[in-house]
Structure 1
Amino acid sequence: MSSRVTTPPVDIDGIVACFKNSIMRARSEEDVRVWVSRCIEELILKPLGIMQVGKYEYTLISGARVDALYGHVVIEYKAPGKLSTQSDIQRAREQVIKYITQEAGNKAEYARYLGVIISDKIAFVKYDQRTDTWILRGPYDIRREAIVKFVEALRGLRRKPLDVEHLLSDFGPKSEVTIKLVRAFYDMIISLKDDSRAKLLFSDWMRLFRQATGYRPEELEELPKLASEYGIQGSVNYDALIFSIHTFYALLLKLIAAEITYLYGGGKFYRSYIAELDDAYSKGGLDELKRTLQELESGGIFKRLLSIENFLEGDYFSWYLDVFDKNLADLIAELARQLSDYEIATPQLEPEFARDLLKRLYQNLVPSDLRHRLGEFYTPDWLANYLLDEVGLSFENLNKIGEEDPLKPLNIRVLDPACGSGTFLVLYISRLRRYAEEHYLTDMLLRYVLDNVVGFDLNPLAVLTARTNYLLAVADLLAYSTGTVEIPIYLADSIMVEKQGKM
C-alpha cells in the first residue's frame, strides 16, 4: 500500500466557537455568509485537504441564487433569528429543496445532495428515496453534535458515499478482493492443526452456529453453488466455507466500526483508522500490521477512544491472527485500500439510511435460498415499525407517556430476545432520539438508551452486526458519556432457562 500524507484532525470545538462568534457579530444574512464561510474554508476544508473551493452566490440555470455550493452540499444562510418560527423554517426548507432539485437536474440525483441552513441555528435537508419525501433535521443549536454532521458532509466531498450499490460493487460476492480473501481464509481453516487455538475457535463457532440455525450441511443442496461462487472446487469443507465468509464480513464490519470510532473519539476528528492501517503496513510491514489488527480485534480502539468495554469480546472471527502471513496481509491491505475510498460517516447524516447497508451486504454474500434454509430472515423496516406501533412504542404514544413526566418514555425497557442485525432496536432508538430532540433531552439520552434498549442473539455474527448498527445509531451521543460504555447487545440463548441443580 502506498503511504499518504497525514492531515491534521479537525477541531470540532474550534469550529463551534468560530460559528458562534461569527453569528454573534452578524447583523445581516450577508454577514453570516461572509464570516461563517471563512470558518468553513479555514477550519474544515484546509485541514481535511479538500481543495474544492465553494461557489458563493452561485446562480442556477433557472436564475435562482444559492448562497454557497460545495460539491453536493448546498448552503442557505439566514440572518440571526430567522429560524425561530415554523414559517421561517418552512420557507428556508422550501428554498433549499428548490435549489437541490434544480442543481441535481433529475430525481435520481436528489439523494446525492445535502441541504444545510445556517443562522443562529443549523438545520439539514435531505431527500429520502424510499419514501419519496424530503426530510428536515433540526434546527439545532450551534453545538458540537450538529457541527459534526456538517463536517461529515463536507468531508464526504472527496470520498464515495457508503451506500448499498457501492458496497456491493466493491465488497459483494463478485468482487475480486472478496473472493480472494474468502478463499485465503478457507485455505487457512482447512489447514489448521487440531490442537491450535484457531481450530478451537472454529469448532466452538460451529457449535453455536448449529444451535442458532439448525445447520446440517448434508441437507443443504445450495452449498455447492455457494462454493462455486467463491471459486472453491473439489471436495469442499462447507463448515470452513461458511466460517470464511463470516470472517470476511466480520472483518469488514470491524473496519467500518473502527472508522466511526475515529470520527467520534477524543473530541476531535482523528484522521482515519484505515489510514493508520495503511501507514502500519507501509512503514512497519507484516509485524506492525499484525500489531495494529490485534488492537482492533481485542477491542482496544473502542476502549481507548469511546470507552466502549465490550464491542469485541471473545471474538470468534479473530482466529486469522494466529496464522497471519504475508499473503493475508496483502489481501487485508487491499481491502483497507478499497474501503479508504468511502466516506464511512455518510449514514450518520441520516441514521435511518445506515440500517440497510450491512444487512444488504450480508444478504448478497450468502444466497437467499441458503439463508432461508438456515432460518435467517430479515424483518423489513415497515414491519418492524408496525410492530413497534402495535406494542405501544409509537412516537405519538411516547409523547403521551411523557406528558406527566418527560423522562418516563426514556425509562421504558425494551428487549429483543432474538435481535439479529438489530433492526427493531435501531428503529426504536431513532424514535427515542426524535423524542429527546423535541423535549431538549438529547444530552441525557445516551445513558437511558444504554440502560433500557437491549438485544440478545445466539449467532456471533448477528451480535457483531447488531453492535455495529447500535454504534452507528448512538455514536454522536457518546460525547455525553462520562464513564465506561457497554453496548447492550449480548451473545446469549434467550430460550434456555438455567436450572438450579442439587448437590
Structure 2
Amino acid sequence: MPSLVPLAQIFAVRSATRTEADVQQNLGAFLTLAPLGLADNQVSKVEVPTGDGTRRRIDVEYGRLIVEVKEDLTVANAVAKAEPQLQGYLKVKRDATGDEYAGIVTDGVEWLLYTLASDELKQVQAFKMKRADADSVERLTNWLDGILLTGPKLRPTPDRIEEQLGANSPRFRLDRARLEALYNDRGNDAETTLKRELWARLLRMALGTNFEDDAALFLDHTLLVIEAEIIAHLVVGIDPSTLESDAVLAGAAFKSAGIIGVVEADFFDWPAKVDGGPAIIADLVRELGQFTWKDVEHDVLKHLYEAIISPETRKGLGEYYTADWLAKAIVDERVTDPLNQRVMDPAFMRKSGVSRDIAELQLVIAS
C-alpha cells in the first residue's frame, strides 16, 4: 500500500512541527483510502457535529468507529483528558442510532481501543505504529479491519480465524468486554444464575478438583458457544439476522426443518434473555457474516475454540482435540460403510458443557 505511506509519515511520526489538525486530516484521508470496505457514502468524516444541541464535534467518524485525535499522547494527562470526550461521543452515537460504536484515542502513533461497558469507558486493547513504512501501514490497516469488519468477505482459514476472532483480536476484546459488562449488570437474574450453577456443577462432576468455578471462563464459554451456534446457521445457508436472538440460540430454524439436536437452548443462551443481550448477539451475527462459511474446508470450530480458550485453561480442563491426521486414520480404518454403520467415539461421549456443544455442532459443519 505505497500510496498510504505518505499519509502515515505525517500522522504516525511525532515531530515539533506536526499539529493535531495534521494528524486529524491525514488520518481521515487514510481511513477513506485504506481498503477497509465501507461504501462510498461511508467515507471518513472529520469534525462531525454531535447533533445533541452542543457545540461538540467528533474528530473522525468512520462507519461505527469514533476516533478522538490528540497531538501527543505521551504528554501528561493527554489520555485522561481525551477519555471523557470519547465516552460522551460514544453515548451520543449509541443513543442516536441504537448501535454500539467502538472508540479510539490516538495521536497517530499510539492507538487505544475502547468500548462502552455499562456506560463506562473501558480500554480493551492498544496498538502502536513503530514506523511509518509499508509494513506498519499494512499492520494498522489489518488492525482497523479487525475492528470494523467491513472489508471484503473472508475465507475462514485457521490463520484468519485466529487473527480476526481469537482472544488477541480487537473484535474479541470489544465483544468480550460488552459481554462481561452485561453479566455484571444482569448476572444476578434468576435464570442466568441457575444456568451458571448448572454449568459449574456439570464441569465439576466431569473434572473434579481440576475445575474452578470462574466467571471469566463462563463468559469465554458463553461467547464461544454463541459464535459456534451462529456459524452453524451460516454454514448451512440460514441467515440468522432474520431471526430473533433467542430463536438463533435455541436452533428454531433447524427444528422447524425437522433437524433435531443441532443447536439447542443450553447454559449459554442467557444473553438472549436479558436486556442488552440481543444487541450483542446481533452484532456477533454481523461480524461472523463477514466470513464465507460455506467455503470452510477444515475443522473451523476446533480453531475457534483454540483461538479463544488459552492453552493453560485447556490443559486445566483436560480438553484437547484429536489431531486431524489421527482422527482421519481411525475413520479410514474403521468406518467402512458410513451410510449403514453406527459409530461411537468414546472421547465424544465424555464431552460435557462447552466441549459437548462444540462437538455436536461439528457434526453439522462436517455434513
TM-score w.r.t. the length of structure 2 is: 0.53
Distance in 1 of aligned mates of 2:338 and 2:317: 37
2:249–2:265 contact (8 Å) kept in structure 1: no
Structure 1 residue 206, shift from structure 2 partner: 0.8
Structure 1 residue 217, shift from structure 2 partner: 5.9
1:214–1:374 contact (8 Å) kept in structure 2: no
Query: Residue 273 of structure 1 aligns with which residue?
Result: 240
Structure 1 residue 323, shift from structure 2 partner: 1.8
Q: Given the alignment, which residue of 205, 214, 219 partners 1:211? A: 205
Query: Residue 359 of structure 1 aligns with which residue?
Result: 302
In the alignment of these two chains, the number of paired residues is 216
Spell out, residue by residue over 1:436-477, the C-alpha distance to the aligned partner (whole angstroms, 9 max, x if none).
xxxxxxxxxxxxxxxxxxxx3441212221222111222xxx
Distance in 2 of aligned mates of 1:458 and 1:381: 18
Distance in 1 of aligned mates of 2:219 and 2:234: 23
SS in structure 1 opposite 2:334?
A: coil
Match runs of 1:76-115 below 5 Å: none
Q: Given the alignment, which residue of 190, 195, 216 partners 1:196? A: 190
Partner letter of residue 234 of structure 2?
Answer: E
Distance in 2 of aligned mates of 1:180 and 1:465: 23
Distance in 2 of aligned mates of 1:335 and 1:215: 34
Distance in 2 of aligned mates of 1:339 and 1:409: 32
Cα 1:385–1:217 shift into 2, 3 Å: closer
Q: Given the alignment, which residue of 325, 337, 352 partners 1:382? A: 325
Query: Residue 340 of structure 2 aligns with which residue?
Result: 411
SS in structure 1 opposite 2:347?
A: coil
Distance in 2 of aligned mates of 1:409 and 1:310: 20
Distance in 2 of aligned mates of 1:317 and 1:343: 25
Partner letter of residue 316 of structure 1?
Answer: F
Distance in 2 of aligned mates of 1:297 and 1:333: 11
Query: Residue 262 of structure 1 aligns with which residue?
Result: 237
Cα 1:202–1:239 shift into 2, 3 Å: same
Structure 1 residue 190, shift from structure 2 partner: 4.4
2:167–2:308 contact (8 Å) kept in structure 1: yes
Partner letter of residue 374 of structure 1?
Answer: L
Partner letter of residue 361 of structure 1?
Answer: L
Cα 1:253–1:215 shift into 2, 3 Å: farther
CA RMSD of aligned residues (A): 2.5
Structure 1 residue 411, shift from structure 2 partner: 2.7
1:189–1:199 contact (8 Å) kept in structure 2: no
Q: Runs in 1 of length 4+ with deviation above 4 angstroms?
A: 190-195, 215-218
Match runs of 1:290-369 below 5 Å: 292-304=244-256, 306-325=257-276, 328-347=277-296, 353-355=297-299, 357-369=300-312
2:262–2:360 contact (8 Å) kept in structure 1: yes
Distance in 2 of aligned mates of 1:293 and 1:170: 23
Partner letter of residue 161 of structure 1?
Answer: R
Cα 1:191–1:207 shift into 2, 3 Å: farther
1:192–1:199 contact (8 Å) kept in structure 2: no
SS in structure 2 opposite 1:418?
A: helix
1:209–1:215 contact (8 Å) kept in structure 2: no
Q: Given the alignment, which residue of 468, 481, 485 partners 2:361? A: 468
TM-score w.r.t. the length of structure 1 is: 0.39
5+ residue gaps in structure 1?
1-157, 219-237, 264-271, 278-291, 348-352, 399-407, 420-455, 475-503
Partner letter of residue 197 of structure 1?
Answer: E
Structure 1 residue 180, shift from structure 2 partner: 2.6
Cα 1:387–1:458 shift into 2, 3 Å: closer
Match runs of 1:485-500 below 5 Å: none
2:210–2:316 contact (8 Å) kept in structure 1: no
Cα 1:217–1:467 shift into 2, 3 Å: closer
Distance in 2 of aligned mates of 1:409 and 1:203: 39
Query: Residue 143 of structure 2 aligns with which residue?
Result: none
5+ residue gaps in structure 2?
1-151
Larger radius of gyration: 1
Distance in 1 of aligned mates of 2:360 and 2:176: 23
Distance in 1 of aligned mates of 2:358 and 2:153: 24
Spell out, residue by residue over 1:243-263, the C-alpha distance to the aligned partner (whole angstroms, 9 max, x if none).
100111111111111122335
Cα 1:388–1:300 shift into 2, 3 Å: closer
Cα 1:161–1:367 shift into 2, 3 Å: same
Q: Given the alignment, which residue of 246, 269, 281 partners 2:221? A: 246
Distance in 2 of aligned mates of 1:344 and 1:362: 16
Distance in 1 of aligned mates of 2:209 and 2:183: 19
Cα 1:255–1:367 shift into 2, 3 Å: same
Percent identity over the alignment is 27
Spell out, residue by residue over 1:220-246, the C-alpha distance to the aligned partner (whole angstroms, 9 max, x if none).
xxxxxxxxxxxxxxxxxx611101001
Spell out, residue by residue over 1:101-120, the C-alpha distance to the aligned partner (whole angstroms, 9 max, x if none).
xxxxxxxxxxxxxxxxxxxx
Distance in 2 of aligned mates of 1:193 and 1:322: 11
Distance in 1 of aligned mates of 2:253 and 2:186: 28
SS in structure 1 opposite 2:344?
A: strand
Partner letter of residue 160 of structure 1?
Answer: L
Distance in 2 of aligned mates of 1:333 and 1:295: 12
